[in-house]
Amino acid sequence: MSLRHEKEMEVNVQVLLLCRPFSDDELRSKAPQVVTCNDYNREVAVSQNIAGKHIDRVFTFDKVFGPNARQQDLYDQAIIPIVNEVLEGFNCTIFAYGQTGTGKTYTMEGECKRSKSGPNGELPAEAGVIPRAVKQIFDTLESQNAEYSVKVTFLELYNEEITDLLAPEELSKVSLEDKQKKQLPLMEDGKGGILVRGLEEEIVTSEIFTLLERGSAKRRTAETLLNKQSSRSHSLFSITIHIKEATPEGSCKRGRRNKQELGYFRAGDQCTCGAPWSRSLQMVFRDSKLTRLLRDSLGGRTKTCIIATVSPEVHCLEETLSTLDYAHRAKHIKNKPEVNQKMMKSTLIKDLYGEIERLKAGEGSTREKNGVYIPKERFYQEKSERKAMADQIEQMGLTIENHQKQYDDLNSRYIEQVQHCSDLSNKLDTTQEKNKKLQKNLNKTSELLTNTEDELRRSQYTVKEKDFIISVQRKAENALAHQACVLRADLEKVLQDNASLFLKIGREDKLNLDNRAVVNNFQAELAQQVGYLCNIVATSLSEQSEHLKCVEKLCHSFLGVHDKVVLDLKNKVTGLRNLYLSHTETVQNDRLHKASSDGVLEELSSLISSNGRSIQEFLESEATQAGEIFDELQSSLSTQQGELAVFAREMRHEQSRSDSEKLIADMTSLVSDHIRRQMDLVDEKLVDLRQSSIKNKTTNMCHQ
């Protein structure tokens, strides 16, 4: 964009002057009036008495409203066009500025009780700028049949702390400590603007007065609770309007409804002690939050109107002059208002998603308390801003160096001129001295001539002598005349010299004065620039140190977290290592065990099978043996039976029957005992074998 075009877009901040009427108390005390307003000429005159002299200081503003002006007059003449501009898509800010008790709140809010309004919703005569603007906005939007939404915020800035005046909780129930915790921080919105984080945004319909009342009441309660001096408290009311407008899109006949942010209308009151602009019309950093809040309004993209309020009475003279001075300077602040871009639905959704992500990240970092979340773009923006600032500082350093050089140059030239001047003065003195001497000589010669003439007249000489005397006299006269001529010429020359010297001295004096003025101006400018630079450097340093602190804190917390994580990890790794080792050992043991148990199993199974076999063999052999023994016994028994029978038959005769039967019984029990013992032995062997087989099986299963 060309410089000319840029210049064309610049508009000055509009400054209105409002002088309130005398209050009843002031009227009773008959306080003299020192402020006179000429609404027509847009002038305000302040009468002062300095050293017995009556002096009027006159200031001109964009509009002047005297004590007789009504709220309606101010609104109709100055505010309606501004609200219209909001409805055209510009961001507009109106704020009142003035000493305490001069009518800032009255002008901005007025008496806006709903009960006082007329039957058809007209506002009361005392309603201030805000309710009137709200009414105008709603009336216009309604008349346009537009689909719109209006959001309102209302905040208070006191002692560098921001309080939400629309937050729902009852201030009276909140302790001071809790209240302080509720302070809201300022943040960059990522689009070059400033937003107050956590500020309640109320979507309103036309009924806004209850809201206003609520905010104002909360402010008043806080003032009483916290014993605030109202002059240090600033409030900022903001209305943001969105409309949906139908726009045809290509060949599609249906059109699309785009959401457009029309603009915001902000109205605030703030006091004399915190004027956020300096003499040099730069934003100052004295009241940083107020300055940041109004950054876009003073030197930014907003259309701004300042209403300077003063009291007419003499006791406020000093503050009135200071307000007028500041307000007059503010007239020179230039803004570059821009119409808000229409926002496509998709862009809006994208923006909102971005915002949600940003908030989530912010919330995440807050929850984890592991530092501050700064969006990437903001980080880079701040980085580039810091770089630009550093460049600016460097540039200014160079400029200062150049100025210092110029100053040294001028100073040496000034010293030269002073030297030259004193040389000329010396010359003049010498010439004047010479003049005096010549004058003396001339006087002497004239005296001599007169004496000679007298002598001539007195003495009687011969003609010859007379002629001689006359010729001598003539010669003397000629010589004298010649000398007189020479002297006159000398004198005239000296006079000319003197005149030119005086002229020169005059010129020199003027030059010296000019030089002095230039040097003084330069010194003042330099001091101002240096001051400004110091301010910038100080702010930049404090910002950078704050940033560095933040980064340091972040690093510390990160290191803390990192150390903890490393320790945790180490512990985990050690644990895992131990676990791994024990696992490996177990696995090896398992493997060994498995191998050994496999062997044992094999061994066992072979043992079992061999045992089985041997048992079978043993049983078979035992059975055979038992059979054999049995057979043997049987045969021996039968033999013995036979023998016994033979013997019995033989003895039947010889021995008694009882003896032979006893012998037979003894023999039978002997054989039965032997057989039972053999059977028990076999049973025992079988039980042992079974038990050892079960034991082997269990061990094998355990190993598996």
Ligand X SMILES: Nc1ncnc2c1ncn2[C@@H]1O[C@H](COP(=O)(O)OP(=O)(O)OP(=O)(O)O)[C@@H](O)[C@H]1O
Stretch that binds ligand X, among 93-101, 237-245, 480-488, 576-584 (CB under 6 A): 93-101
Judge contact between 33 and 45, C-beta under 8 A.
no
Q: How far apart are CA 196 and CA 695, in angstroms?
A: 83
The one among 14, 91, 102, 216 contacting ligand X by CB under 6 A: 102
Residue among 70 and 577 whose Cβ is closer to ligand X: 70
100 binds ligand X (CB under 6 A): yes
127 binds ligand X (CB under 6 A): no
312 binds ligand X (CB under 6 A): no
Taking residues 143 to 182 in sequence order and writing x for each that binds ligand X by CB under 6 A, - otherwise, the string is ----------------------------------------
106 binds ligand X (CB under 6 A): yes
Is 460 labelled as part of a ligand binding site? no
Least distance from ligand X to the Cβ atom of residue 33, Å: 15
Judge contact between 292 and 194, C-beta under 8 A.
yes
How many residues belong to the chain?
704
Instruction: Give the position of tokens 């404090």.
Output: 542
Least distance from ligand X to the Cβ atom of residue 159, Å: 15
Least distance from ligand X to the Cβ atom of residue 96, Å: 7
104 binds ligand X (CB under 6 A): yes
Least distance from ligand X to the Cβ atom of residue 109, Å: 8
SS3 19: strand
33 binds ligand X (CB under 6 A): no
Residue among 108 and 615 whose Cβ is closer to ligand X: 108
Q: How many CB atoms lie within 10 A of CB 168?
A: 8
Stretch that binds ligand X, among 96-104, 275-283, 336-344, 524-532 (CB under 6 A): 96-104
The one among 31, 36, 101, 488 contacting ligand X by CB under 6 A: 101
Is 347 labelled as part of a ligand binding site? no
C-alpha dihedral sign at 69, 75, 79, 85: negative
Q: How far apart are CA 698 and CA 704, in angstroms?
A: 10
Residue 675 burial (10 A CB sphere; 0-12, 13-18, 19+): middle
Is 102 labelled as part of a ligand binding site? yes
SS3 386: helix
SS3 174: coil
Least distance from ligand X to the Cβ atom of residue 24, Å: 10
Q: Considering only CA atoms, which of 669, 596, 595, 675 is closest in space to residue 630?
A: 675
What's the distance, CA 249 to chain centroid? 40
Residue among 71 and 260 whose Cβ is closer to ligand X: 71
218 binds ligand X (CB under 6 A): no
Contacts (Cβ under 8 Å, ≥6 apart) of 209: 112, 113, 114, 117, 131
365 binds ligand X (CB under 6 A): no
124 binds ligand X (CB under 6 A): no
Task: Please give the C-alpha separations between residue 467 and each of 462, 474, 481, in angstroms, as whole numbers.
Answer: 8, 10, 20
Is 300 labelled as part of a ligand binding site? no
271 binds ligand X (CB under 6 A): yes
Q: Considering only CA atoms, which of 215, 14, 242, 293 is closest in space to residue 137?
A: 242
Residue among 100 and 529 whose Cβ is closer to ligand X: 100
The one among 103, 131, 268, 312 contacting ligand X by CB under 6 A: 103
Is 560 labelled as part of a ligand binding site? no
Residue among 306 and 480 whose Cβ is closer to ligand X: 306
Q: Considering only CA atoms, which of 346, 336, 264 is closest in space to residue 298?
A: 336
Radius of gyration of the chain (CA): 60
Taking residues 223 to 262 in sequence order and writing x for each that binds ligand X by CB under 6 A, - otherwise, the string is -------xx-------------------------------
SS3 241: strand
Task: Please give the C-alpha separations between residue 33 and each of 18, 20, 50, 101, in angstroms, as whole numbers.
Answer: 15, 12, 16, 16
Stretch that binds ligand X, among 94-102, 453-461, 549-557, 569-577 (CB under 6 A): 94-102
Q: How far apart are CA 586 and CA 580, in angstroms?
A: 9
Residue among 28 and 181 whose Cβ is closer to ligand X: 28
Residue among 105 and 529 whose Cβ is closer to ligand X: 105
Stretch that binds ligand X, among 104-112, 185-193, 298-306, 569-577 (CB under 6 A): 104-112
Q: How many CB atoms lie within 10 A of CB 141?
A: 19
Is 103 labelled as part of a ligand binding site? yes
The one among 84, 105, 278, 515 contacting ligand X by CB under 6 A: 105
Is 101 labelled as part of a ligand binding site? yes
Residue among 229 and 672 whose Cβ is closer to ligand X: 229
Contacts (Cβ under 8 Å, ≥6 apart) of 126: 71, 106, 110, 111, 112, 116
Stretch that binds ligand X, among 17-25, 491-499, 572-580, 622-630 (CB under 6 A): 17-25
The one among 17, 20, 135, 219 contacting ligand X by CB under 6 A: 20
Q: Kindly determine how many residues on this chain lie close enough to bind ligand X according to the rule CB under 6 A.
A: 16
21 binds ligand X (CB under 6 A): yes
Q: How far apart are CA 74 and CA 65, in angstroms?
A: 7
162 beta partners: 157
Q: Which residues are annotated as a binding site?
A: 98-105
Residues that bind ligand X (CB under 6 A): 20-21, 23, 98, 100-106, 230-231, 269, 271, 309
Q: Binding site for ATP, residues?
A: 98-105
